[in-house]
């Protein structure tokens, strides 16, 4: 059984991770948009390195935030997970409609990552709703 301090600490860490993920995605998207209109973005990295650092870490932090908050009442985390996933899916739609030039690998990674993170947020919302209504779906069979 977790103490209140452990629950509060894990909830705070999950919030920090999901907010950091959100900020990384916004910076990544802004840099891609700037790079599309100029020859270079404001982040002095090549495309692959920028994608790994800003996109990959954002996905990893989102997944870690989900894992940390899975048994807690985490409305904030689940909402930001859904938003982060939607941002990733929008990024893939931008690639599909050729608004920016990118590879098919980037498209596939963006779509899959967006679907996974959005699904985790939706799952967390369902669990959160069931916990608040007294039905803990994680422990009932």
The residue among 85, 89, 93 whose CA lies nearest residue 117 is: 85
What digits encode the pLDDT tens for the residues 14-26? Answer: 999 999 999 999 9
The pLDDT value given to residue 67? 92
- DSSP character string of 21-83: HHHHHHHHHHHHHHHHHSSS-SS-S-HHHHIIIIIIHHHHHHHHHHHHHTTS--HHHHHHHHH
What digits encode the pLDDT tens for the residues 27-79? Answer: 988 888 887 777 777 888 887 888 888 989 999 999 999 999 887 778 899 99
Share of the chain above pLDDT 70, in %: 80
Between the two ends of the chain, the Cα-to-Cα distance in Å is 20
The pLDDT value given to residue 134? 59
The pLDDT value given to residue 97? 72
In the chain, domain spans: 4-132
* Long-range contacts (CB closer than 8 Å, 24 or more residues apart) made by 127-130: 127/70, 128/73, 128/74, 128/75, 128/78
Cα angle at 22 between 86 and 70, to 5 degrees?
Answer: 80
Q: What is the pTM of this model?
A: 0.80
Half-sphere exposure of 79 (CA within 13 A, CB side): 6
Q: Which helix (H) or strand (E) holds 3?
A: none
What digits encode the pLDDT tens for the residues 82-132? Answer: 999 999 998 888 777 766 666 677 778 888 999 999 999 999 888 766 655
The pLDDT value given to residue 103? 67
Round to whole Å and give the CA distance between 10 and 29: 29
């Amino acid at each position: 059984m977790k103490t209140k301090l452990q629950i509060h600490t894990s909830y705070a860490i999950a919030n920090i991770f999901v907010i950091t993920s959100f900020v990384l995605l916004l910076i990544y998207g802004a840099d891609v948009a700037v790079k599309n209109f100029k020859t270079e973005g404001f982040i002095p990295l090549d495309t692959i390195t920028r994608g790994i650092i800003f996109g990959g870490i954002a996905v990893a932090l989102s997944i870690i935030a989900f894992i940390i908050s899975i048994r807690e009442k985490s409305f904030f985390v689940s909402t930001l997970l859904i938003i982060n996933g939607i941002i990733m899916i929008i990024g893939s739609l931008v690639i599909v409609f050729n608004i920016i030039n990118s590879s098919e690998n980037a498209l596939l990674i963006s779509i899959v990552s967006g679907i996974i993170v959005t699904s985790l947020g939706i799952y967390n919302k369902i669990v959160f709703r069931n916990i608040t209504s007294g039905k803990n779906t994680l422990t009932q069979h």
